[in-house]
Amino acid sequence: MSQPRALYLHIPFCLSKCAYCDFASRPVTGRAEMARYVRALRSEIRRRACGRVSSLYFGGGTPSLLEPGQVQRLLADIGARAEIHADAEISLEANPATAGRAKLAGFLRAGVNRLSVGVQSTADQNLVRLGRRHDSEAAAGFVREARRAGWKNLSCDLIYGLPGQTLREFQTDLARLLSWEPDHVSLYALGLEPGTPLAERVAAADLPRPDDDLAADMYSWGRDRLAAGGYAQYELSNFARPGKACRHNLHYWRGGEYLGLGAAAHSYYRGVRSWNDADPDAYRISLEKGFLPVAGRESLDPRSRLGEALIVGLRLTAGVRRLPLEANFGREALASLEPAFRRFQQEGLLEKDRDAIRLTPRGMLLANVVFRALV
């Protein structure tokens, strides 16, 4: 029997585009546009959903712009064509500006059981700078309403390394977030993506350029503070209370196959990666005309697959296990990377034993240096 797959559904609409965001998303024009998109997404589900599904993830964009009834219909369509595990993790990303207690309760009734809240900062000046549509009190209130609605698995995202942000400000930011008692925390370093308003403001010297060394200090401090608060680090950017690690993302990092549905969604199956049209209109029109919206495919050669397996696996604090790597790619392929492994061991970035290869705490700070050498 084939191994279960993870299923990702992309909702490419937001209230407005954030200043740092280069994701495949755009502001929604209204309910009619969302309804047309959901009809197209349901059509793709009916044509492509199959097999066993271990987890589902509504990502975006801002999936909490959906109505609970739309989520329920999407899940029913998937369940009619695929075998969803009885204990499947079903996640939905949410923006605090898009839902109240009634809607949050509706998502639960629809079948969602994990909520990922895009807080990003608890400091109002940073939220304005990031272009977010909520303030700190709205975020705190959203988390409170989610708990009152019955959510038992709630994650919060926090961005660090912002222009002009001090270590003390980040410490206050994280402490305030932890006072809301989320079950899971994702800490992301700000990336200045070309073409985004925030990157342009930094390039024009309207905002100070983020300090990489200071960001590393924030990450190290945050890692220690989260550990002291009972959050175990299981991946470079992710920390969870016992039993609350994101199973969907773990599936990716362990090299599992996945099916992506929706505009810009990617899939991976038997060494072949494919991706859909990124433009929501082109995606919808393809399906309305009876065509699948797949924009491209690529087959990965064994060396590329090994490199990717190492990169995603080394993101995990547990690292990658040697025996499965040798079984999948051959002992010789792994041996060809031994010089790089030894160099990074000597530099204190990697550690190895008979069972696994993993990044050291210092290696986590310089993970991209390791990854570039392994591609």
Q: Which residues pair with 184 in a beta bridge?
A: 155, 240
CB atoms within 10 A of CB 16: 14
Per-residue pLDDT of the chain (375 residues; tens, 9 = 90+): 467 899 999 999 999 999 999 999 999 999 999 999 999 999 999 999 999 999 999 999 999 999 999 999 999 999 999 999 999 999 999 999 999 999 999 999 999 999 999 999 999 999 999 999 999 999 999 999 999 999 999 999 999 999 999 999 999 999 999 999 999 999 999 999 999 999 999 999 999 999 999 999 999 999 999 999 999 999 999 999 999 999 999 999 999 999 999 999 999 998 899 999 999 999 999 999 999 999 999 998 888 889 999 999 999 999 999 888 888 888 888 888 889 999 999 999 999 988 899 999 999 999 999 999 887
Distance (Å, whole) CA 102 – CA 89: 22
- Give me the pLDDT at residue 2, please: 62
- Give me the pLDDT at residue 1, please: 44
**Residue the block writes with tokens 């940073």:** 126
Angle, CA of 155, 160 and 164, to the nearest 5°: 150
Sketch out the chain's domains with CATH numbers: 5-253 (3.20.20.70), 302-374 (1.10.10.920)
**Residue the block writes with tokens 């060396």:** 303
Distance (Å, whole) CA 156 – CA 128: 18
Distance (Å, whole) CA 112 – CA 56: 9
Q: Write phi, then psi, for 280 (nearest 5 degrees).
A: -60, -35
Q: Write phi, then psi, for 11 (nearest 5 degrees).
A: -110, 105
How big is the chain by its Cα radius of gyration, in Å?
21
**Residue the block writes with tokens 């559904």:** 9
- 119 SS3 class: strand
Write the burial class of residue 237 (CB in 10 Å: 0-12 exposed, 13-18 middle, 19+ buried): middle
- Comparing C-alpha atoms, which of 226, 233, 227, 236 is closest to residue 314? 236
- Give me the pLDDT at residue 326, please: 87
Angle, CA of 267, 268 and 269, to the nearest 5°: 125
